[in-house]
């Protein structure tokens, strides 16, 4: 749990666009989602593959507060209108205006630089959310079995939960993995992505806890036939790729399966989505990093260059034992070769889980002795993790905090 936050701020501040980033244009019908354009032809590498190498940070998606699920104010639209986009621009302009260079004490970078330019030059920035399927921009329901495992799951984010051993923490708490495909989405910091290529391989390096090596096959059939046997699993899965014209397709299976309810730490999986990946928030799911993952979980990604400095990344996730239907996201990766990767200073054996366990055990002893009130989901400050971390400025001003105590009861009674 040791985070390099100061370095992250400097990394965020380094984001600046050297050239306009091309992508698909927003259609006149804002409820239409056109296919990703394939008219741009990338350069080729000496062995013939298209050249996707470079640094493709997705920090601007985080800094610009384009959310994973679609805010309800956008309805069934895939795109914002001009008024909503103007509000996003105004917020980006203010964020850029807060940027300061580090002084002699090393303090600086309180805002961003280049965020307004990114919004103006990246058509994808007019999207209402990262999630494009289901068409309503909301994640599908969990199956009843998966919902039961979610509700019984434990992590460092669950309100009212005590910490008594390492199995009370998720894989990200323990610096093992953010999970997959969670690792492919923006986070609070460390949002760098680098792509390296060599004959037969593509390597995707993530700034936070993850490197993926994708073996490239001559056809989809060959790639599917090379899937690992079922008992073999990895945190980032088994990724096998092929070229579909100018699009790189990657199928990933054999992701570590399991759930967060088990007390066996070796049978715990990561959640397919990380709760801080800019969800719009819900009291049920996908908060708390406790969504399970079955052996049927898989992703299909499509990476298409739509210009010299833009890759459109599409990802479809399916796990019929967990989600009632597959879901799909579409993001823009924007080239920025000046972006600096910083060490993610986090390791599984760090002292924070031990300290949390020691403090929680002491607290439980005080509660048992009647010296302290029991911790519940209602009085635990972790309940804030069930609410949105971010607010899309396109929908208007952020609302005030939700009512508490008697006010909350009165509000619920008024609704009923």
- pLDDT tens-digit series, residues 346-367: 877 778 889 999 999 999 999 9
Owning domain of residue 309: 36-60+133-334
How many whole angstroms separate alpha carbon 173 and alpha carbon 166? 9
Tokens of 321: 């034992």
Of 54-58, 77-81, 283-287, the one with minimum mean pLDDT is 283-287
Is the pLDDT at 406 greater than 60? The verdict is: no
Top-confidence residue, 326 or 25: 326
Q: In what order do the strands lie in the sheet with 193-198?
A: 54-55, 193-198, 201-206, 210-216, 238-244, 247-253, 298-307, 310-318, 327-334, 131-133
Top-confidence residue, 372 or 4: 372
- Residue 383 forms part of a structural domain: no
Is the pLDDT at 101 greater than 90? The verdict is: no
pLDDT of amino acid 21:
39
The mean of the pLDDT values for the chain is 87
- Residue 105 forms part of a structural domain: no
The confidence band for 333, taking pLDDT boundaries of 50, 70 and 90, is: very high
Write out pLDDT tens, residues 177-190. Answer: 999 999 999 988 89
- Residue 258 forms part of a structural domain: yes
- Residue 163 forms part of a structural domain: yes
State what percent of residues in the chain have pLDDT above 90.
67
Is the pLDDT at 281 greater than 50? The verdict is: no
State what percent of residues in the chain have pLDDT above 70.
85
- Residue 12 forms part of a structural domain: no
Distance in Å from the first CA to the final CA of the chain? 42
- Residue 74 forms part of a structural domain: no
Is the pLDDT at 31 greater than 70? The verdict is: yes
- Residue 403 forms part of a structural domain: no
Cα 285 to Cα 130, 140, 158, 345, 388: the distances in Å are 17, 10, 12, 29, 12
The confidence band for 17, taking pLDDT boundaries of 50, 70 and 90, is: very low
Write out pLDDT tens, residues 375-387. Answer: 888 888 888 777 6
Top-confidence residue, 142 or 399: 142
- Residue 299 forms part of a structural domain: yes
Is the pLDDT at 46 greater than 80? The verdict is: yes
How many whole angstroms separate alpha carbon 136 and alpha carbon 77? 8
pLDDT of amino acid 386:
72
SS (H, E, C) the chain: CCCCHHHHHHHHHCCCCCCCCCCCCCCCCCCCCCCCCCCCCCCECCCCCECCCEECCCHHHHHCCCCCCCCHHHCCCCECCHHHHHHHHHHHHHHHHCCCCCCCCCCCCCCCCCHHHHHHHCHHHHECCCEEECCCCCCCCECHHHHHHHHHCCCCCCCCCCCCCHHHCCCCCCCCCCCCCHHHCCCCCCCCEEEEEECCEEEEEECCCEEEEEEECCCHHHHHHCCCCCCCCECCCEEEEEEECCEEEEEEECECCEECCCCCHHHECCCCCCCCCCCCCCCCCCHHHCCCECCCCEEEEEEEEEECCEEEEEEEEECCCCECCCEEEEEEEECCCCCCCCCCCCCCCCHHHHHHHHHHHHHHHHHHCCCCCCCCCCCCHHHHHHCCCCCCHHHCCCCCCCCCCHHHHHHHHHHC
Are 55 and 79 contacting, i.e. CB atoms less than 8 angstroms apart? no
Tokens of 351: 């002292």
Is the pLDDT at 410 greater than 80? The verdict is: no
Is the pLDDT at 173 greater than 50? The verdict is: yes
pLDDT of amino acid 379:
87
How many domains is the chain partitioned into structurally?
A: 1
pTM of the model: 0.88
């Amino acid at each position: 749990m040791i985070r390099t936050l100061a370095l992250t701020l400097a990394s965020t501040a380094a984001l600046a666009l050297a050239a306009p980033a091309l992508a698909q244009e927003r259609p006149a019908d804002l409820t239409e989602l056109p296919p990703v354009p394939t008219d741009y032809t990338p350069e080729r590498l000496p062995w013939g593959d298209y050249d996707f190498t470079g640094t493709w940070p997705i920090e601007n998606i985080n800094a610009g507060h384009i959310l994973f699920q679609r805010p309800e104010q956008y309805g069934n639209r895939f795109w914002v209108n001009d008024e909503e986009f103007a509000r996003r621009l105004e917020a980006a302009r203010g964020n850029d205006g807060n940027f300061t260079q580090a002084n002699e004490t090393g303090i600086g970078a309180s805002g961003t630089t280049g965020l307004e330019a990114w919004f103006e030059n990246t058509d994808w920035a007019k999207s209402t959310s990262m999630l494009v399927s289901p068409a309503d921009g909301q994640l599908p329901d969990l199956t009843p079995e998966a919902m039961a495992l979610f509700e019984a799951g434990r992590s460092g984010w669950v309100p009212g939960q005590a910490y008594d051993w390492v199995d009370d923490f998720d894989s990200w708490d323990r610096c093992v993995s953010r999970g997959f495909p969670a690792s492919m989405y923006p986070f609070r910091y460390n949002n760098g992505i680098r792509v390296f290529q060599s004959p037969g391989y593509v390597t995707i390096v993530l700034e936070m806890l993850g490197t993926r090596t994708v073996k490239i096959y001559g056809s989809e059939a060959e790639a599917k036939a090379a899937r690992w046997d079922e008992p073999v699993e990895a945190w980032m899965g088994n990724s096998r790729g092929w070229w579909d014209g100018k699009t790189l397709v990657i199928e990933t299976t054999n992701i570590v399966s399991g759930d967060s309810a088990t007390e066996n730490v070796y049978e715990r999986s990561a959640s397919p989505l990380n709760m801080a990946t800019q969800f719009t928030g819900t009291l049920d799911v996908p908060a708390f990093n406790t969504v399970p993952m079955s052996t049927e979980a898989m992703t299909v990604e499509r990476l298409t260059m739509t210009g010299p400095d833009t890759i459109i990344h599409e990802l479809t996730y399916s796990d019929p034992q967990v989600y009632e239907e597959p879901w799909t996201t579409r993001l823009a990766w924007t080239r920025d070769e000046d972006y600096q990767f910083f060490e993610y200073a986090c390791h599984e054996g760090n002292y924070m889980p031990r300290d949390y366990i020691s403090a929680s055990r002491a607290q439980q002893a005080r509660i048992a002795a009647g010296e302290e009130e029991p911790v519940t989901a209602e009085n635990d400050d972790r309940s804030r993790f069930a609410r949105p971390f971010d607010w899309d400025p396109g929908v208007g001003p952020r609302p005030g905090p939700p009512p508490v105590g008697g006010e909350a009861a009165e509000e619920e009674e008024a609704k009923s």
